[in-house]
Amino acid sequence: MPAIVVVGAQWGDEGKGKATDLLGGRVDAVVKFNGGNNAGHTVVIGAEKYALSLLPSGILTPGCTPIIGNGVVVDLGVLFGEIDALTARGVDASKLVVSANAHIIASYNRALDKVTERFLGSRRIGTTGRGIGPAYADKMSRTGIRVQDLFDEDLLRAKVTGALAFKNQVLAKVYNRNAADADAVVDELLGYRDRLRPMVADTSLLLNRMLDEGKTVVLEAGQATLLDVDHGTYPFVTSSNATAGGACTGSGIPPTRINGVVGVIKAYTTRVGEGPFPTELLDAQGDALRAAGAEFGTVTGRPRRCGWFDAVIARYAARVNGVTGFVLTKLDVLSGLAEIPVCVAYDVDGVRHDEMPMTQAEFTRAKPIYQLFPGWGEDISGARSLAELPRNARDYLDALAEMATAPIAAIGVGPGRDATVPVRDLLTGR
């Protein structure tokens, strides 16, 4: 049985939660393999709307095991707050499993994130201030705290004291902020220990055994391709690998067990935070897309920057991730437009680029080259098959699939779980 990776193919907020949820009834486990509580999924089930930030979207599917993989950085206060909120709404979160190797976001990580972003001023990255980047920095500098460390108090105290020996110098002497108290940090983390203990496991072993038993596993990315720390629009990126390759390192499943990659992409493009965005609409049309698509961050509430579909980015995402099928969301938002522009290439200093420019400087100067497609006036939110979509909508989809170099497997025509037009089986690709 397959291990399927679900990744965002733009700058995030494409609807990965919905794509994972579509698979949920046939999936035994959903693994979040990167990121933290800095990006969220919104899943609509009937009249209920769920905003998830740290938990995998599989938490909403009965019988599915939701797993937080080793590649995630975990804010324990957020984790238990989210669990309590779902439990209060009747969602069973008792099957959640957390990797013993996942790193923890400490209070000093959040403090450093906020003060550093303020210090950068106009050069800021646009982080959420939740300590994600500093926690990953600790991981790479080998001064991080892992989930398993909570069960050895002496080790935990030694790690926190060692980390703060340097960080307190930075907080006090560089940023003129109060130093963090090591005992207070340790006590806060130990306060979560007993509740966390039953959830913790060797998730790499668990997942590989599930695959050995013929079970189906979905690996769910946080953020998206253009926010990947290696393959995104650096430095305006997240601090982890949000592309398909990160699914292996962030979960402990080897590449030989991955059977397919589902890329989730909007019928237009959005971005949150700083950084270049070639098709961005800084006019009334951008405002209209934002309003029609309810483009505000699930976690932060920040208004998203909006622009037309970018086929260059779609091709890039297909190539970097090895996309075997796209789930295209929010097609209904484009209804009523007389014409729909699509960016088919870039103009960089008078030179046409059909692929992503190699350098950050070139991408910053990229101007979109548009091709216009006829729109449609019909309300498509009730469509449940390709035949029920207007001819112009189908032509638009065919053009996007050809330009993106991967087939479209499903089309979102509304926020609800059932507001989807299936084209191919997401698990088999047929």
Q: Which of the residues are catalytic?
A: 13, 41
Whole-angstrom Cα distance, residue 428 to residue 127?
A: 37
Place of tokens 């990797």: 99
Q: Which of 392, 233, 423 is CA-nearest to residue 310?
A: 233
Place of tokens 């779980």: 417
Whole-angstrom Cα distance, residue 16 to residue 42?
A: 9
429 close to 341: Cβ distance less than 8 angstroms: no
The two tokens of residue 128 are 């959420």
